[in-house]
A and B are shown apart, each in its own frame.
Chain A
Amino acid sequence: MKKILYIFLIGLFFTSCDDLDVVNKASLPQEVVLADLSGFEAVLFAAYESVNDFGYYGQTMMIAPEILADNMDLVNLSGRYEQEFVNAENAIINIWFNRYTAINECNIVINLIDDEYVDIEQADKDLLVAEAKFLRALFYHDLARVYGYEPGQEVNGFNSSVIIRTTPTIGLSDADDRPRATNVEVYEQIEQDLLDAIAGLPVVAAGSPDVARANRTAAQLLLARVYLYWGRNAEAANYAQQAIAGDGSDLVTAANYVDSWDDAAFNFHPESVFESDLRIPDWSTVDGANNSLHSLTMNTSAGFFVVTASDELVAAIDQNEDDVRRDLLTTIPLGEMFTKWQGAKGTVPFQENIPILRLSEGYLIAAEALGAGAGDPFLTAYRAARGMAGGVSATVDNVLRERRIEYMAEGHRLFDLKRLGRNITKPASSGVSTINYSDFRLLSRIPQSELELSADILIQNPGYN
């Protein structure tokens, strides 16, 4: 019997070690994760991948700016874009959280890559940092145009833009309370990042798989757009022309334009200079049907088909019967269906790469920035690529018509009207009267929880309470 007692005591001894150490298999320490090139690349890739999030260019940034403006009709009620269609008060574009998360990933790359424990060649470091700066510029550009007015276009002098963070949040003390910077400060930040990116990035061939990563042409084109929004037309024209020169690629010819959207044949749009690559593991089995651009714009059989081209957009295209882009719309019983988002890449339905910056924009920026006369050749060259005759003067209105149609279902429309201070004439079918430029709904609401956390140094956009 004593034996049993001993076993008992030995058992007690064994289990009484103060062992409270546990393993989190889903995580590694920072100095292990960020020790080498592949570690930093993985963080950068997280930022790249976020570009095709449904809350960003994967859906929101492509659809919302169209339906909040005048390019889209709502034809099905599934809870999607119903409020946006009628510009309800809180039907806003909310990219706040998902962009700052991606910005933090860029900040990690830009700031931590020089830490002493990091073992990476200097040339590789420079390239990663240049890519991260391009992405950061893109993200701030989108934040700035969603949440603030463009410099010079302020309503009642309201010039608050977004919060600038250029250092990473890796501990709670980094998550400090900050005020919004002015729009000019944000634009200057974007400008500086893009200038750095242009200096550090290589030139790649438009429409090649290389445009899935940041490159010099993409940075030039984005910088041209930022200057155009900023009203600095000379610089806009300059960088637009550098982007057009790019690697020497031309626009798709009019005869080939409609086919160029066949993403089974062209995984990358031939005019793309920056395009987000999408692959099978990016989605769960239902993401395609629930959220993809293809599902929302084209799939009448197994998707959540909700939007068609508005009558007003169709009328704008029909002004010119030579416009080949008319063939990117198909007539169905419910209306005119967009056929840009064919979802035919690879074996998984609904999937396709998401073009973010296309070469055509270089021509349209150059034309608009240089204006009637000097800009005419760019507009003529562009129109030729869409089947239309030249001889049209590069006035803002003429360029704006082309932009509206060129980027239909690509999310430019609201921002083009806004940067020019134009009113939004809503489609008749929405039953919503014209929204003046000064209407507070042109700026999105900053998440209320951010304001609640702030010690009153963060301010909401006007009109929201």
Chain B
Amino acid sequence: MKKILLTCFMLVFVLYAWAQDRTVSGKVTDVESGEGLPGVNILLKGTGVGITSDLDGNYKISVPSDGGTLVFSFIGMKKQEVQIGNRSVVDVQMVTDIAQLSEVVVTGYGSQLKREVTGSISSVKGDVIEDLPMQSFDRAIQGRVAGTQIAAASGQPGGAMNIRIRGTGSINSGNDPLIIIDGVQVASLGQTSQGSSNPLNSINPNDIESIDILKDASASAIYGAQAANGVILVTTKTGSKKGKTQVNFSAQEGVVQPVNLYDVLDAQEYLEIKAEAQRNVGIDPAGADGVFPVFGNPEDPSTYNEYDWVDNMFQDARFRTYDLSMSGGDEKTQFYFGGSYNKQEGQVRRSDFERFTGRLNLTHQASDKLTINAKLGISHLRQFGSIANGNFINGPWVAAFSAFPVVSAYNDDGTFRDYPGSTFPSHLARYNIIQGVEEEVRLGRTLQTVSSASATYQILPSLSATAFVGIDFSMNRDDNQRPSTILPFRPAGGSILVNNRRTLNVNTNYNLNYSKTFADVHRVRALVGYEYKFEEREGASLGANGFTNPFFTLPGNGQPLQPGGFFQEYKRLGVFGKVDYDYDDKYLVSATVRRDGHSRFGSQSKYGTFYAGSVGWRISDEAFLENTSFINDLKLKASYGVLGNSDIIRNGAPLNYAPQTTWGASSGQYLGGGTTTIGAIGNDNISWEEEEAINIGVDYSLFNNRLFGTIDFWRTNNRDLLFDVPFFQNAGVNTNSVYDNIGSVRNQGIDFELGGIIVDRGGFRWDSRFNITLLKNEVTSLIGGQDTIFDGNFPSLVVGQPVDFFFLLEYAGVNPANGRAMIIDKDGNPSYSGGFEDASIRGSAIPEGYGGWSNTFSYKGISLDIFFQYQYGNEAFNADQYNLLSGRGIDNQSTEILNRWQEPGDVTNVPQLTPTGTIASIDQYYGAIGTDRFLSDASYIRLKTVTLSYDLPTSLMQRAGMRSARVFVQGVNLLTWTNYDGMDPEVVANNNGTGVSSYGAYPLGRQFSAGINIGL
């Protein structure tokens, strides 16, 4: 603070000493490359005198005889102030300023200085996620951006993520944001269906320069009908004009460990529990119908064969990543080349993920008016996986826990045992899950390119035209082989299913950019453009069974079965315009309008118009705050707009033909003849879903830029929701619903970002960034004024409730007198049985808040990054417990079952055991409706990443001929604090279509790795 004051005084003093009588010259160079730096602003402090450096970085400036202070500034570089003293030559070396780089944000069809932005945009720079051991960038930015909730849908390597920007606005249409990679609007569906697949896997996160997230209407309205769920803009790296080619190489190797697996019973406990269940209903476990003759006697270990399925199913998995990049160029041409190889084993044995990526980004200045850009990316992914989430007998995360602990997966000779059935009751369809993951082939391979080309022509100094074309093209092949060595597949002679898919997704746009400053203070920027996009997805599948030998791998070696295929396309076009105006960098106004047409909508309603406006006031530039020295930058901003959503989703896939009634061939045949039926009824009136969004916020940077951040208050009203309106089943159409624009949802919240340099002293620096988003989600109206919509017997939407909730009975525990489970009935009394009228909404899966906190401690080349991620206020239903704590049947159980009620007076949550799980004909776990016994608070705080790195000293490096070298160790998902009773509170939602419950979900593992990054 004192320094600032001192500077101010000096400034005044200098002004009085005004005299201009000598010349200072020098050269400005880049400290990294040593090359001259052109275009650097050089200002004589306290005066209006300033010039820029020439092409070689040289400058010459007149200064007063007693010297003064020169201020050197250049975008992306640290500002420097140099006392001239009596020197006549002042050479300056400029240093890259990471913090300042973040001041440029990428907006739709262009970029803007952050200080001028009046919308709500959050940015993550590439260096934040560099070398994190994660396959896709969405995983890497989890928790780092306010207003953006990112959660893993699966812990499988390369698994999908769920991203929600500012809440869940749509009820049963798409809620995924629009993701744009170098201008290419990428498809939101994963390619392979073997396991969980993330559509962003084709982009190597280390190739990314920046990620910008457009959250409010003003920022995203330029994308009109795609913008309602927010927009994520990803920009990959480019070369530089500055001399020497830079090479970067990094290698990393590590291990992933399963954590927090369920504890299940060992053989003896298992037998005792099953015997107790039988005794409770008067069956003698040692008798003819008893468990002892079949499974073994707990007293006599020779009667069973103890085996730990869980231990044998999951593994400490290895992973490694190699990454090579080169960048450089000259005045006319710049390039960035990147290549990577990544292989990661899964926590389930035998499963893995392997990826190659390549990238070449080129910029060429063809003439002084024409610039050509190409960004070419290619990737090949290979996923060999077990079933990712859910499923029953063949899902490792289900079957490994429920398999009998009294038989081994192997015969004595080391071959796989047929899962028992002849002397045992049939269980798990006699599928030996360990043999399954070892011998079943579930292979997905995808070749994908996300590439673009563009040309910009400078028509006038203030006017340029850009043409852009981008493609996202992928070819995928899935092989699923079920060999006859596995018992359940033996009768059919094994089977093979092959799926070939192709996705072509093209978008092209043409726009004019205008930028001019009038009378020094009126700055106008304008953009008009046209865009066209189409997407085609198609596929063909074929299957065969009846293989004479399990080692045949081509369908042609068996008997043909099940040909199948699909074709889906949509088209979209739009025209758009945007005007930004600011007066003296102080008063900012922006307006956007876009008109879009989409083939998904009815013949009379294909087009929609979307718009937004915003204002900003850089109050820190006002005279009355000029002397408030602790404020460096303070901007108030507000925006309002109406955006669109065209993502009609039915059964997880985009619905492209909603206006049409479909008369199509249905699968199947009769007497060899094909069958046709009316598949779905169309609605020609269907149109856009709209989101009205309002945002009021403040961007601040205080105390010499040591404290900075953003606070946004926002509300979105989503209306005309594209809702799959059910009609009568008895009308007799297979799909008994039509899409219509009905219902509305409100989301509101606060995004809060705070960053600071807490300590910066003696070479030690502590940087900290914290963000939190507070969120409230509510259905505000439904079809025809109804207040509830039912799905079967269950309410699925209720006005005044969030769009996701749990409708369950309230569990009242176990009656200590007799061991029977009880619920609270509709009158508030404990009861043994409960119907739908006794059930109520017991919680929601939508969190009340989420965010992250990152800390970087650095001292002389040593740097420690500690990053926490959290969410709270959401519940999760742990459906695994249905199997693991039911007490019934012959499934193995969680050790929690040992707390069961045994005799009058026992106080516990686990009812008395019976072989059928019923007492007096009443299901003790209320399977038909469910109780909140298995619902738990899924709030958590997770120590997400810790990275310790050491940059070797520059002097040492220079001797070794290297630019830089860094060694690092890091850990991911190291610790989790939660009350959730399942394996992972993050991977809980929407698994395998089982609703918002975790069933057989693939949890995230704990990762440790070490690596090196070398720059040449």
Chain A residues packing against B (C-beta within 8 Å): 1, 4-5, 8, 11-12, 15-16, 18-30, 32-34, 38-39, 41-43, 45-46, 48-49, 75-78, 82-83, 86-90, 96-97, 100-105, 107-108, 162-163, 165, 168-172, 174-178, 212-213, 277, 279-282, 284-285, 288-290, 300-305, 333-334, 347-350, 431-432, 447-450, 452-454, 465
Contact = CB atoms under 8 A, between A and B. Distances in A.
Nearest to A452: B790
A-B pairs with lowest CB-CB distance, top 6: A104-B732, A175-B731, A77-B889, A42-B676, A349-B491, A27-B662
Interface in B316-375: 367, 369-370
A165 B928 CA distance: 31
18 contacts: A5-B465, A8-B455, A20-B597, A20-B606, A38-B673, A41-B673, A46-B677, A49-B670, A87-B921, A165-B730, A165-B731, A169-B731, A172-B738, A175-B736, A212-B671, A281-B561, A432-B921, A465-B837
Interface stretch (B168-176, B241-249, B420-428): B420-428
Contacts of B571: 19-22
A282 B562 CA distance: 9
Interface stretch (B251-259, B482-490, B902-910): B482-490
Given A16-B530, A86-B916, A289-B429, 11 more contacts: A21-B571, A22-B570, A22-B657, A27-B662, A27-B679, A89-B928, A103-B732, A212-B671, A302-B487, A304-B426, A334-B425
Given A19-B571, A302-B490, A8 B467 contact: yes
A38 B670 CA distance: 13
Contacts, number: 274
A449 B726 CA distance: 9
B681 interface: yes
A35 to B, nearest CB: 11
A282 B668 contact: yes
B429 A4 contact: no
A83 to B, nearest CB: 7
Nearest to A433: B921
Contact of A45 (B543, B667, B675, B793): B675
Nearest to B667: A281
Nearest to B882: A79
A266 B291 CA distance: 40
A282 B571 CA distance: 35
Contacts of B262: none
A460 to B, nearest CB: 11
A411 to B, nearest CB: 21
Nearest to B569: A22
Contacts of B673: 38, 41-42, 45
B109 interface: no
A409 to B, nearest CB: 18
A5 B457 contact: yes
Contact of A104 (B459, B598, B606, B731): B731
Q: Is the interface of A mostly helix, strand, loop or mixed?
A: loop
Contacts of B455: 4, 8
B672 interface: yes
B675 A42 contact: yes
Nearest to A212: B671
B494 to A, nearest CB: 9
Interface in B542-562: 543, 545-546, 559, 561-562
B663 A28 contact: yes
A30 B661 contact: yes
B733 interface: yes
Nearest to A27: B662
A97 B729 CA distance: 5
A213 to B, nearest CB: 7
B888 A300 contact: no
A330 B939 CA distance: 55
B273 to A, nearest CB: 15
Interface string B263-306: 00000000000000000000000000000000000000000000
Contact of A46 (B530, B532, B599, B675): B675
B492 interface: yes
Contacts of B670: 45-46, 48-49, 212, 277
A104 B369 CA distance: 66
B561 A300 contact: no
Interface in B908-936: 916, 918, 921, 923, 927-928
A303 B668 contact: no
A289 B429 CA distance: 8
A302 B429 contact: yes
Given A1-B370, A33-B663, A348-B492, A448 B569 contact: no
Given A175-B731, A300-B421, A8 B457 contact: yes
Contacts of B665: 26, 42
Contacts of A177: 728
B457 A175 contact: no
A176 B731 CA distance: 7
B931 to A, nearest CB: 16
A24 B657 contact: yes
B183 to A, nearest CB: 15
B23 interface: no
A42 B674 contact: yes
B974 interface: no
A104 to B, nearest CB: 3
Given A4-B457, A169-B732, A303 B671 contact: no
A89 B835 contact: yes
A85 B919 CA distance: 14
Contacts of B530: 12, 15-16
B923 A88 contact: yes
Interface in B717-754: 726-734, 736, 738
Contacts of A162: 730
B423 A333 contact: yes
Given A16-B530, A24-B657, A285 B837 contact: no
Given A49-B670, A300-B422, A289 B488 contact: yes
Contact of B671 (A97, A165, A213, A350): A213
B542 to A, nearest CB: 12
Given A86-B916, A165-B732, A300 B426 contact: yes
Contact of B731 (A39, A174, A301): A174
Nearest to A209: B671
B491 A86 contact: no
B573 interface: yes
A88 B924 CA distance: 12
B482 A107 contact: no
B65 interface: no
| Among B545, B679, B727, B728, residue most surrounded by chain A Cβ atoms (within 10 Å) | B728
A252 B362 CA distance: 83
B792 interface: yes
A450 B728 contact: yes
A212 B673 CA distance: 13
B791 interface: yes
B728 A105 contact: no
B511 to A, nearest CB: 10
B429 A303 contact: yes
B495 interface: yes
A39 B367 CA distance: 64
Nearest to B392: A79
Contacts of B800: none
Nearest to B281: A431
Contacts of A42: 665, 673-676
Interface in B480-526: 482, 487-488, 490-492, 495, 497, 508, 510
A39 to B, nearest CB: 7
B532 to A, nearest CB: 5
A299 to B, nearest CB: 8
B426 A101 contact: no
A453 B728 contact: yes
B681 A20 contact: no
A22 B601 CA distance: 11
Interface string B109-120: 000000000000
Contacts of A172: 681, 683, 727, 738
Contact of B492 (A21, A27, A288): A288
